[in-house]
Amino acid sequence: MTTAGEIMHRGAQWIPAHQTLDRAAQLMRELNVGALPISDQNERLCGILTDRDIVVGCVAMGHDPSKVTAGEMAKGTPRWIDANADVSEVLQEMEDHQIRRLPVIENKRLVGMISEADLAQHLTEDQIGAWAERVYARSASR
């Protein structure tokens, strides 16, 4: 059994909900990532911020990223997976919720993230193809 903890990339970092989007963009650049989990004051997951969220949801709307916080961009129920979950649960969670990045939690702490690149490195071509077909086909039909 392959687990979420085995396929995730370690070293994921939170962005506090009170932090501004310009700082979030700087952190994404420093970490070379396209998404950051958003934490509340108790370091609990309250959302995920993507580089696309910053561009489309802030800059393209004419807002100043130095005045908009990560917490203001957090929408919906954040999704996550336990580090001990089987990879089939990871795929199901991502498919069911049409997400391409998934935080991994262990003992109530963020321990990593799973992205499409992580899936590509650890799954067979057939598994990746089936996953991508289900995730992208549904999102295109919306």
Pair 53, 65: CB distance under 8 Å: no
Separation between Cα atoms, residue 18 and residue 120, nearest integer Å: 33
Fold of 4-140: CBS-domain (3.10.580)
Tens-digit pLDDT string for the chain (142 aa): 789 999 998 888 999 999 999 999 999 999 988 999 999 888 889 999 999 999 999 999 999 999 999 999 987 788 999 999 999 999 999 989 888 899 999 988 899 999 988 998 888 888 888 888 888 875 555 4
Q: What is the pLDDT of residue 22?
A: 97
Parse the chain into domains and list their residue ranges.
4-140
Whether this prediction's pTM lies above 0.75 is answered by yes
CB count within 10 Å of CB 69 equals 19
Q: What is the pLDDT of residue 92?
A: 92
